[in-house]
Structure 1
Amino acid sequence: MVSVALAVTEGMLHFELSVAYEIFASVPDGVPGPWYDVSVCGPDAVRVGRFRMEPDHGLDRLPHADTVIVPGWADVDVEPPAALVDAVRAAHEAGARVASLCTGAFVLAAAGLLDGRRATTHWAHTDVLAARHPKVEVDPDVLYVDNGSVLTSAGKAAALDLCLHLVRLDHGSAVANTAARRLVVPPHRAGGQAQFVTAPVPARDDHPLGALLPWVLERLDQPLTVEDLARKANMSARHLGRHFRAATGTTPLQWLLTQRIRRAQELLEATDAGVDAIAEATGMGTATTLRRHFNRTVGVPPDTYRRTFRARSAPTAG
């Protein structure tokens, strides 16, 4: 069972803390095995937003956790408490995976965990983060950045995206999608998507893409083109592109490729189908095409992804 420690002190934002607690402390239906062991770690009593709370453990518990989550930091003009910074640094040195939500990146940066690494935070504070910590490669245009043992997210909704990304890494796409459905949020927004889009998802039934996206997801095995999507949506390809950019922050083809890769991940996790069969089922055509796009998007070949996922998902003693 993966232990998750939520690091809190005076001045934390309650939304990001609540997001992390909701995702990691609530077991989705049908999870085949242990979920997370979640604890809140901080001083004796802290104010989070307008609320007072009593942590389960002190900050000295962070180095004993497998994953440490640092919620948003309310006042970026004030340096985060040294005790929190030291505890987060000690946790990382002890081997913990450390993730920040929103302006929690300022805590990770103060601990030196972002030096020489690409990172993000809420778009309104990226300039401040870059100026204060020049060794950090600040990317203002993405939802989250995964550096393996150190992860950072943009603001608010992107905190959900990063937490679901961690669930996907630990438990697979199917479980992460179940958790997303329970929260009534999109099952997967890739970290590289733009932070600021007009409408992150088509929220209304009468949205121009409201009927199109489910139609596409049911036909990922087919060689769909932008013209096919535009014809189904009853609009020009150029008009379709504008709607896609406003709704998803990306192009129709990039969105379609992302869905094909996500379906390939699900099949690699849940079936023994060969790469050729998965390439056909996801509309990639050939195993060579699937391997090229999968490796570029996920960072490893399909076969390696399958072995890594199954090794990670295998039951362990204790």
Structure 2
Amino acid sequence: MKEITFINRNKARWEKFEQQLKKPSAVNPDSLADQFIQLTDDLAFARTFYPGSHTLAYLNSLSQKTHQEIYRNKREKGNRIPAFFRIELPLILYSARPYFIISFIVFMASWALGVASSLADIEFVRSILGDAYVNMTLDNIEKGDPMAVYGQMGELPMAFYIIFNNVSVAWQVFLYGFLTPIGAIYRLFFNGVMVGAFQTFFYQKNLLGVSTYTIMIHGTLELSAIVLAGGAGIMLGKYLLFPGTYPRKDSFIYGAIKGVKVMIPITIVFFVAGILESFVTRHYNSIDNWLNIFIIATSMLVIIWYFFIYPSLVHKKFKAND
């Protein structure tokens, strides 16, 4: 984007903000914080594409004035992170909702394909999950403990292993967006087929209820995070493939920044899911039904609230203060 175009698109908002700073006591603190986030985004953009320009100097000066007003008590470290999760990130999540929906549709379609393929071909499960895993699970079923895989390692080592593995998978799905949305969709599709094959395998052994009951203790968060990571990857690829009126490089950088920010809460979700899988799922035989239902329901509500409902509320508030 040419600098003059960047200025023309944002000049009115900057001037309005500058006028508000002259009477900060009359400005809603939340509105001031919201606009400051927009300003810092503009500043980051100018630093990247217009270094040494008058625009950069102007935005830097305006940002410093705003910083002094908002953080007069020098509580930046204590306020910046909460502000990010409370305002900036929800606004990004709101804009990413269409990509999350596409990701969910792809995942469910691939899950259905995994189910259908497993029902049609008994060897399909082995081709997806591997002979070693299938044979081990068959042995566990014969021993009367079909979910024994979750108790093979110590709780802490297992937690580290699972968290590392799951976070790696999620970031792979996201980073495949560098290959356009098709890359992210490909990785997401493979994961969906694998889950479908996994569940069908237990269904064929008359253990679908047990497997679902056990897996969803941690799987509610884990599977949701995979779908959300797929959405972030599709979004990344979209900005590369369809830059709109922006230069492709600028559009891609902007999309990458947004995508990485979306991946922050997703990574946190995987940490929690890994802890549940390591310390709770292994005790599926001794967990009361009400506790299991509570964990699953709470996990689902957290995902729906923070990734969908809360971003809508923040967006409405932001638009009202604009």
Higher strand share: 1
RCO greater where, 1 or 2, for CA within 8 Å and sep 6 or more?
A: 2
- Give the TM-score taking structure 1 as reference length: 0.29
Higher helix share: 2
- Give the TM-score taking structure 2 as reference length: 0.29
